[in-house]
């Protein structure tokens, strides 16, 4: 795993974190990410959007129709991130990372590995041993997937991000081949830590992301919508 070593590139920079309350519609947030990325300048601070989505399947640029088995009443949205199909819904922590990787001096592989490392470290705070896999981006516990990644880089700026299953209905994952893998078992944090909620998991993971990239501090914002 190639992990970014924080340097002076980030140590004097704030990480702006926007915590969104309630369930967010996917397409509204997605288009807002695109607009933010298109409009940002070299001076724009890096940003995390932390939220939960209304139920939705998202199909990445490499997505194949055969991995959508029976979506039923859950909408399917074709998006501009990498990867195959995944599910977002209530009880799942989603963090979108709008990071200037050129300014940090890293590439896409280091970005992915550093995010995975932050997830692994946040799960270690619960006493859980999780790992990333070279052949399949994401984070796993005993070959079952607990967190997924899907990113896009545009002109050296990242958007899209990660999802961590916390306390959700996992049934919709049975309607797809998650991330393009048949029979992949999906698990969640409450399988190991009963009573854990998204807000608590978000606080731990945001802190680990700050530490992993070396930002000097976090500027918090709370909002109802994007």
Residues forming the active site:
179
Contact yes or no for 171/73 (Cβ under 8 A)? no
Tokens of 146: 């607990």
The Cα diameter of the chain in Å comes to: 49
Distances (CA, A) of 93 to 24, 67, 133, 165: 12, 23, 21, 6
Q: Which of 81, 85, 30 is nearest to 54 (CA)?
A: 30
N-to-C CA span, the chain: 33
Contact status, residue 40 vs residue 98, Cβ threshold 8 Å: yes
Enumerate the β-bridge partners of residue 52.
23
**H or E element in which residue 223 lies:** strand 217-223
Question: Under a CB-based contact definition with an 8 Å cutoff, are residues 24 and 53 in contact?
Answer: yes
């Amino acid at each position: 795993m190639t992990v970014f070593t924080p340097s002076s590139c980030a140590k004097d920079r704030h990480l702006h974190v926007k915590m969104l309350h309630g369930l967010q519609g996917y397409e509204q947030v997605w288009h807002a990410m695109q607009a933010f990325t298109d409009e940002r300048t070299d001076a724009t601070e890096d940003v995390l959007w932390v939220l939960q989505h209304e139920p939705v399947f998202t199909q990445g640029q490499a997505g194949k129709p055969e991995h959508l088995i029976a979506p039923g009443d859950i909408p399917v949205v074709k998006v501009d991130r990498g990867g195959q199909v995944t599910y977002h819904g209530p009880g799942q922590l989603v963090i979108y990372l709008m990071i200037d990787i050129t300014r940090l001096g890293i590439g896409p592989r280091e970005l992915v590995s550093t995010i995975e490392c932050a997830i692994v470290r946040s799960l270690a705070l619960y006493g859980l041993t999780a790992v990333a896999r070279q052949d399949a981006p994401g984070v796993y516990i005993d070959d079952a997937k607990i967190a997924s990644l899907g990113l896009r880089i545009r002109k050296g700026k990242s958007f899209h991000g990660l999802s961590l299953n916390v306390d959700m209905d996992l049934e919709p994952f049975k309607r797809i081949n998650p991330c393009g893998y048949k029979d992949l078992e999906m698990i969640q944090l409450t399988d190991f830590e009963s009573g854990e909620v998204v807000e608590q998991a978000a606080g731990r993971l945001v802190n680990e992301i700050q530490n992993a990239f070396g930002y000097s501090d976090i500027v918090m914002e709370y909002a109802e919508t994007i």
